[in-house]
């Protein structure tokens, strides 16, 4: 038995409301259950209850066992002085307030809906399952799932916005600099994301503003700070970058000691860090005030046009500095741009709107629903239960659902789990 389940039972009145009796055999009539509190203090504030012949206004505290009151040291906490009813699953001892007055206790186990208890036991059975509700997920109403996934998507955006706030603080509210750091990280994806971010962190964005009119200079800066210009390679382009970087290093007193090592291992050549860094340099070479442009655009088509950049000429016939390859244009693909939209563009648009107090939820929904659903092991597994991932909105929400609810057994805070417990599938 979880205390959260008892919160759910009380909150949604999933128990027999007539003929309620305290452990002292006093009648209990509920005028108001109170306001659910998920922070410190009693579980429900401002309840109104008639106990015996007396109408009480105050707080309700819920525990699995009455003795948990003492286990949590509530008897010495003044925040619990105004508790008017102690609701428990099992009454094993009387409890007292700080002033030693006894608190009326309601033992729930004899009043709980058998259906709710059955659904709870089924949901939290100990059998090995990928998620607790995998046998019932397909039966949950589409309306419930879709509404919950939309809410989870914005919950995920809000979580991402917290890290953006930190970047904003670190850059003294320079949104262009924040965008550069986030783009750099996501150009590196999982393998080189942290390394690319450390490279971006090693450069003051004012340098990008000064140098972005020259693609070669930008590449020398990115490659040099990433420790990719330290070999003895006799190639004209390489030597030009190396010489340019030495000049920049002295002029701007650059250091790359804290830049993480770039990885090539297990990457397909089109995703080599050399290619990605050249594409990132092209994006900034072709776009001054990139942040302002991103805030203005609203459709995926517009973003495809803005972000469809190529490498510089040298990289059309190379993947590494020391080996030529068959010549080909190396342009950001739509699938890669989709990832940039999901992980960088939309979160930063959302965070900026929050920052300036603007409501753009509808614009965000319209944009993310234009992007195809991601493909990964989490999405694929959910799809075997029920086909729900139509766009990136659902795929991002399903990742949030699995990581923040399913993995943490937070079924009682989940709309899907709640629907199953209520029998509203």
Does 128 reside within a domain?
no
Of 348, 368, 388, the last residue of a domain is 368
Do both 178 and 276 map to the same domain?
yes
What pLDDT does 27 receive? 96
Do both 207 and 348 map to the same domain?
yes
Do both 86 and 224 map to the same domain?
no
Six token digits for residue 175? 């949104």
Do both 108 and 213 map to the same domain?
no
Do both 102 and 194 map to the same domain?
no
Do both 183 and 105 map to the same domain?
no
Please state, in angstroms and as integers, the Cα–Cα distance from residue 212 to each residue in 285, 307, 332, 389, following that order.
Answer: 5, 16, 19, 39
Beta strand 27-32 with 105-107 is unpaired
Six token digits for residue 188? 């590196």
Cβ(187)–Cβ(284) below 8 Å: no
Do both 285 and 193 map to the same domain?
yes
What pLDDT does 100 receive? 82
Does 239 reside within a domain?
yes
Six token digits for residue 256? 């790359």
Domain that holds residue 78: 3-112
Cβ(223)–Cβ(241) below 8 Å: yes
Does 54 reside within a domain?
yes
Does 105 reside within a domain?
yes
Total structural domains within the chain: 2
The closest alpha carbon to 87, from 95, 98, 78, 99, belongs to 95
Does 134 reside within a domain?
no
Does 165 reside within a domain?
no
**Alpha-carbon gap, residue 398 to 21, rounded angstroms:** 43
What pLDDT does 111 receive? 92
Of 321, 343, 368, the last residue of a domain is 368
DSSP 8-state class, residue 373: P
Q: Match 């659910």 to its residue by tokens.
A: 36
pTM of the model: 0.83
- pLDDT in 10s for each residue of the chain, 425 residues: 789 889 988 988 888 998 999 999 999 999 999 999 988 899 999 999 999 999 999 999 999 999 999 999 998 888 999 999 999 999 999 998 878 889 999 999 989 878 878 888 888 887 778 999 999 999 999 999 999 999 999 999 999 999 999 999 999 999 999 999 999 999 999 999 999 999 999 999 999 999 999 999 999 999 999 999 999 999 999 999 999 999 999 999 999 999 999 999 999 999 999 999 999 999 999 999 999 999 999 999 999 999 999 999 999 999 999 999 999 999 999 999 999 999 999 999 999 999 999 999 999 999 999 999 999 999 999 999 999 999 999 999 999 999 999 999 999 899 999 898 877 54
Do both 210 and 100 map to the same domain?
no
Cβ(319)–Cβ(269) below 8 Å: yes
Do both 221 and 298 map to the same domain?
yes
Categorise residue 182: left if φ over 0, alpha if ψ from -120 to 50, beta otherwise.
Answer: alpha
Do both 192 and 99 map to the same domain?
no
Query: Would you give the end-to-end CA distance of the chain in angstroms?
Result: 23
Do both 178 and 107 map to the same domain?
no
Beta strand 44-51 with 27-32 is antiparallel
Does 55 reside within a domain?
yes
**Alpha-carbon gap, residue 81 to 302, rounded angstroms:** 60
Does 411 reside within a domain?
no
Cβ(364)–Cβ(349) below 8 Å: yes
Do both 207 and 337 map to the same domain?
yes
């Amino acid at each position: 038995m979880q205390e959260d389940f008892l919160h759910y039972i009380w909150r949604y009145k999933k128990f027999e409301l007539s003929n309620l009796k305290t452990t002292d055999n006093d009648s209990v009539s509920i005028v108001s259950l109170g306001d659910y509190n998920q922070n410190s203090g009693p579980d429900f504030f401002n309840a109104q209850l008639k106990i015996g012949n007396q109408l009480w206004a105050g707080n309700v505290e819920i525990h699995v066992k009455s003795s948990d009151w003492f286990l949590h040291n509530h008897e010495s906490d003044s925040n619990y002085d105004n508790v008017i009813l102690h609701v428990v699953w099992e009454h094993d001892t009387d409890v007292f307030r700080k002033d030693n007055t006894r608190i009326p206790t309601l033992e729930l186990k004899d009043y709980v809906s058998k259906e709710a208890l059955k659904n709870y036991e089924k949901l939290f059975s100990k059998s090995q399952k990928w998620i607790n509700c995998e046998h019932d997920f397909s039966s949950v109403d589409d309306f419930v799932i879709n509404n919950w996934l939309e809410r989870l998507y914005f919950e995920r955006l809000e979580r991402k916005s917290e890290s953006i706030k930190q970047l904003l603080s670190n850059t003294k509210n320079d949104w262009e600099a924040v965008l550069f750091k986030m783009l750099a990280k996501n150009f590196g994806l999982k393998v080189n994301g942290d390394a690319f971010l450390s490279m971006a962190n090693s450069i003051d964005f004012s340098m990008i503003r000064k140098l972005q009119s020259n693609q070669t200079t930008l590449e020398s800066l990115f490659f040099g700070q990433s420790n990719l210009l330290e070999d003895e390679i006799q190639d004209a382009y390489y030597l030009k970058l190396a010489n340019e970087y030495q000049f920049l290093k002295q002029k701007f007193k650059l250091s790359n000691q804290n830049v993480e090592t770039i990885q090539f291992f297990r990457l397909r050549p089109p995703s080599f860090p050399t290619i990605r860094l050249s594409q990132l340099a092209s994006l900034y070479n072709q776009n001054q005030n990139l942040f302002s442009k991103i805030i203005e655009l609203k459709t995926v088509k517009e973003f495809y046009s803005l972000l469809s950049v190529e490498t510089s000429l040298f990289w059309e016939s190379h993947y590494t500095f020391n080996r030529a390859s068959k010549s080909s244009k190396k342009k950001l693909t739509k699938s890669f741009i989709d990832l940039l939209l999901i992980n960088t563009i939309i979160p930063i648009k959302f965070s900026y709107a929050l920052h300036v107090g603007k409501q753009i939820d509808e614009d965000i929904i319209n944009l993310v629903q234009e992007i195809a659903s991601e493909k990964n092991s989490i999405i694929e597994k959910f799809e075997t239960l029920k086909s729900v991932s139509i766009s990136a909105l659902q795929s991002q929400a399903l990742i949030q659902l699995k990581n923040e609810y399913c993995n943490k057994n937070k079924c009682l805070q989940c709309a899907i789990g709640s629907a199953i417990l209520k029998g509203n599938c």
